[in-house]
Structures are given as structure tokens and as C-alpha cells.
Amino acid sequence: MAGEGDAGTGNVAVMGSLCVPSAPCQGKLIQTMSYGAGCWLQDGVLWHRVGRQPMSPREGGHQVFSLTSPLHGVTFLAFGNGAPDVFSAVVAFSNPRTAGLAIGAVFGAGVFVTTVLAGGIALVKPFTAASRPFLRDVIFYMLAVFLTFLVLYFGRITLGEALGYLGLYIFYVLTVVLCTWIHRWRRGDGPVPPGPWEPEMPTDAEEPESSGTNSGDYGEEYRPLLPSREPSLRILTTALSPLDLRKWRRKPWYWRLFKVLKVPVELVLLLTVPVVDPDKDDLNWKRPLNCLHIVTSPLLCILTLKSGTYGLYQIQGIFPVWGLVTLVGSALAIIIFITTTNEEPPKYHCVFAFLGFLASAMWINAAATELVNILQTLGIIFQLSNTVLGLTLLAWGNSIGDTFSDLTMARQGYPRMAFSACFGGIIFNILVGVGLGCLLQMTSSQLVVKLEPDSLLVWVLAGALGLSLVFSFVWVPAQCFQLGKAYGICLILCYLAFLCVALLTEFRVIRVSAV
């Protein structure tokens, strides 16, 4: 995601769910916050304002997330946004029979995002693209596609090539950081908040969901006059309650029905994923629940890796790994419980944020594993190749979040941010997804991963992605970076043509005869 204008030199695609779970928007899109506050990303710094003025948390404002360096944007936020694509690729590459799913998903999502989504943004809100971030991202993306094309041509990935994928992404990250520093040095000042002429971020009418009945969630009116100490058992039950009785009474029946269906999932997430909320005075410190997370989060990690293979491993054939993790976690939880209080978070409370990040990644990995298995089953039932399943169902599913968030941002008057996300974020998906997926598949005995294309469809897919990038690389500068409806219509027509050719190739209407 890029900032408006050339301030976007510190951009990355962090569109999707930009708010971290600890933010006051509770994972909602940052464009539709319920606190009536506008947020924007500029020079790698995510700003938050109340009443059009940026404020720090200590000044009474509600700063959602301070990205002091664009490095955070191209690493943590990019990973959070591209986690479904990356984990789908990693899981698919773990089995040679499903490698076509990974190739189809990575390339299919790339074609979809750079044609339908980029074209939709131009149709919704014609704008002038930021020249330097656009050219930088497109060039890096074309390099990644060319590298993948060579890998497919030779039918194998060596250790050096897999490391080359990851090295190219690191070089991209360093380029983003360097461009941002150069831009700040040339400008000679820090980020300037938007002026009164820039569009105001609309707010969402719905109030943020509360995981309990904490008095701080309802403002000063419900804050007790005298401080009281709640017992640990009550804190635990309140923190684990996914229902808010005040909100429950005001909602219609269909909302209640949907909430009941979500309760089991929310309860499991509350039990396993710690959340550090800098917007709250206590940083969302719940001593009994956080101590419980010391046990449940590591258990989640080992029981979801390789479908629980590591967790069920027996140490010398006697003691299971999950038992050892439980004992160590329980000992640490008891020590933390004894040495802390319910009222004051410890100095090392930030460690729980990294634990929550890891637990969230493991949940996404588990979901991606099941998704790949389901798609493989559908391919067997309907006699479809893994590649066509990857470029359609898997690619559309992974891109649906980016589609809604980017189009919403464009409608709200920030098309440059949304457009930069189309080309910036997908770089992370292809480089880290393919590189890390193949690297994890390699063993000490075999340092080569064979990639045999299922059919002509793989080459159609790679060619379509390359042509879409070349089209944008030529069209956008030729139009002086003025993108309008003609550009959007051409991109969408390109995707429809690609989809028709891909399906005709899959059903062998289009075939290439051997000479």
C-alpha cells in the first residue's frame, strides 16, 4: 500500500486486513473504522487522527499502529496480507502431486489482481498513478515472473534458485527502504498529515465488537468511580466470553444466528491467540488468559505443523513432544502468574504480540492445508487439473479480501494506495510463496524440487501474467500515468480473454500438436 503522491515510496501491499488484531478496529478494514478516526499510510508510517489532527496515544489520541519504518510494511504487514497465498503455496509445494495448485494459485492470483482488480480501481476512480513506486513494483514483479518462467522451463528448482527467490525479495525490501530514505532526505521533513482539501475517511456506523463487558469498552459513562480488583476467575471468564450482552439485545435475529455460528471459532481463537492492544490502558493484559496462552499457543504450533506429525513424535519412543511442550509451558505459566498482577502488565508483555502473530500464522497454515486437500479432492471428482483449480477457485478465494478492500479504498478517494497494493503485495506472494515452499520441501538428501507442468495450461498462465504486466508497463507511462476507464476496460477484457483461453485449453479444445 502506498501513500498518496510520491510519499508512497515506502509502500507495500498491506491492503486486505491492514489493522492488526490489537488495533481498535479489531481486524476490520482501516477504511471503515468505528472510532470516527481517519488513518493513512505515508512514507511507511501509518498515521491516525481524531478530528483531522494526528495524535499520539499519550496525548489522548488513538493511534492504531505506528510504522516507524517502511521495513515493517514490506515484512510484517505484507506477510499478514499475503499469508493465505503464501501458506497455500507452501502446503501445495509440500507434495509433488499438488505443486500445480501452487503454480496456478500464485500465477492466477497475479493475473486476477493485476487485471480485474487494477482495472476495477481505474473504473471506480480515475486517477494519476505514483510514477516511481509503480515502475519499481512492476519491474520487480516482471523479474519474479521471468524467474518462475525459467524454473518451469527447466522443470526443477535447485537450492540456489529457491534462495534466489528469497534473496530477490530481500533486495526488494531494501530497495523500498532506500527509496523511502532518499525521498525523506530530499524532502527534508517528516510525514505531513493530509490537508483540509483531502477527502475525509468515512466512518462505520457500527460500534466495535467487544469480547466482554469490560468497562473501558463503553467509555467514561460506565467506568466505576472507585477502582476495584476483579478476581482472576472472573477476568478469565470475561475475557473468554465472545458474546456482548448489551450488543446482543440490540441486534436482529439473523445477526444473532450468525453470531451463534461464529462463537465456537471465536472461542478457540481466544484460547490460542494472545492479543496485545496498545489502544487500551492495560494493553489488553489479562493475566489468567495470557498465562493460559503460554500453554495453548505452543501446543497449537506443534499440532498444526505437518498435520501434527511433529507434535505426535515420541522422544526416544517414550515421551511425546506435545507432553514436553505442555510441561514447559505450564511451568512458565505458573512463574508468570506468580510474578505478575492482574492490574499491571509486565514489561515483557510485548512478547505476547509475537506469540499471537505466530499462532495466527499457524491457524492460517492449518486452514490452507485443509483447503488444498479439498481442492485436490474436487479435482479428482470432476477430473480437473490442479493448475485450473489453482488459477480459479484458490486464486479467487485468496484474492477476495484484496478485491473488497482495494475497491473500497478507491471509492473513498485513495485510488493510488489501492493501485499500488495490486503490484506491491503480489511480489511477496510469488517470491516468498515459491521460494519458501520449495525450500521447505528440500531435504538433506535431495536438494532439487521437480516441477513438471501439468499441461499447456501452465504456459498459458505464465504468458498471461507476463503480458498483463507488460501491458501496464507500456500503457501507464504512455498515458503519463493518467489512468481512466479505457485502461480499466482493457484490463478486464484481457482477463476474460485469458479465462476463456485457459478453460478451452483445460478441456483440450485448444491443443498444441507435437512436431
Over residues 302-307, the mean pLDDT reads: 77
For residue 391, what are the contacts with CB-CB under 8 A and spacing of at least 6? 104, 105, 107, 108, 111, 457, 461, 502
How much of the chain, in percent, has pLDDT values that exceed 90? 18
Residue 226 has pLDDT above 50, yes or no: no
- Cell matching residue 445: 538428501
Give the model's confidence band at 307: pLDDT under 50 very low, under 70 low, under 90 confident, else very high. Answer: low
Over residues 34-60, the mean pLDDT reads: 39
Residue indicated by cell numbers 484481457: 494
Alpha carbon distances (Å) from 364 to 143, 149, 199, 206, 367? 28, 28, 35, 27, 5
pLDDT for residue 75: 60
pLDDT digits (tens, 9 = 90+) for 432-459: 888 888 887 787 667 887 776 656 888 8
Q: Of 395, 390, 375, 400, give the one whose Cα is nearest residue 457.
A: 390
pLDDT for residue 512: 65
Residue 216 has pLDDT above 50, yes or no: no
pLDDT digits (tens, 9 = 90+) for 313-359: 787 778 888 888 999 999 999 999 999 998 888 989 889 988 998 88
Residue with more model confidence, 364 or 324: 324
Residue 372 has pLDDT above 80, yes or no: no
Over residues 219-239, the mean pLDDT reads: 67
Q: Which of 23-32, 300-309, 419-428 has the lowest mean pLDDT?
A: 23-32
Q: Of 309, 285, 302, give the one whose Cα is nearest residue 358.
A: 302
pLDDT for residue 80: 61
Give the model's confidence band at 3: pLDDT under 50 very low, under 70 low, under 90 confident, else very high. Answer: very low
Q: Which of 23-37, 169-183, 479-493 has the lowest mean pLDDT?
A: 23-37
Residue indicated by cell numbers 507476463: 466
Beta bridge partners of 47: 40
**Backbone angles phi and psi of 80, in degrees to 5:** -65, -40
147-154 contacts, C-beta under 8 A, 24 or more apart: 148/103, 148/106, 148/107, 148/430, 148/434, 148/462, 149/462, 149/466, 151/434, 151/451, 152/103, 152/451, 152/453, 152/458, 152/459, 152/462
Calculate the dihedral angle through the C-alpha atoms of 490, 491, 497, 502, rounding to the nearest 10 degrees: 170
For residue 376, what are the contacts with CB-CB under 8 A and spacing of at least 6? 97, 98, 101, 386
Question: For the domain with range 23-285+342-507, which CATH number is right: 1.10.3720.10, 1.20.1420.30, 3.20.20.70, 3.40.50.1100?
Answer: 1.20.1420.30
| Residue 249 DSSP SS3 | helix
pLDDT for residue 63: 39
pLDDT digits (tens, 9 = 90+) for 71-117: 555 666 566 666 677 777 777 777 766 777 777 888 888 899 889 98
Whole-structure pTM over 0.85, yes or no?
no
Q: From CA 449, how far away is CA 98, in angstroms rounded?
A: 13
**Backbone angles phi and psi of 231, in degrees to 5:** -70, 155
| 434, 426 contact by CB (below 8 A) | no
pLDDT, mean over the chain: 75
Over residues 165-172, the mean pLDDT reads: 92
Q: Of 33, 20, 416, 16, give the one whose Cα is nearest residue 202.
A: 33
How much of the chain, in percent, has pLDDT values that exceed 70? 72
Calculate the dihedral angle through the C-alpha atoms of 290, 294, 296, 300, rounding to the nearest 10 degrees: 120
Residue 11 has pLDDT above 50, yes or no: no
Residue indicated by cell numbers 450488543: 247
pLDDT for residue 100: 73
pLDDT digits (tens, 9 = 90+) for 105-158: 888 888 998 899 899 999 998 989 888 888 988 999 999 989 888 888 888 888
Residue 198 has pLDDT above 70, yes or no: no
Helix extents (H) in 320-350: 321-339
Beta bridge partners of 158: 448
Give the model's confidence band at 491: pLDDT under 50 very low, under 70 low, under 90 confident, else very high. Answer: very high
Q: From CA 277, how far away is CA 345, in angstroms rounded?
A: 12
Q: Are strands 38-42 and 45-50 parallel, antiparallel or unpaired?
A: antiparallel
Q: Which of 76-85, 216-225, 465-474 has the lowest mean pLDDT?
A: 216-225
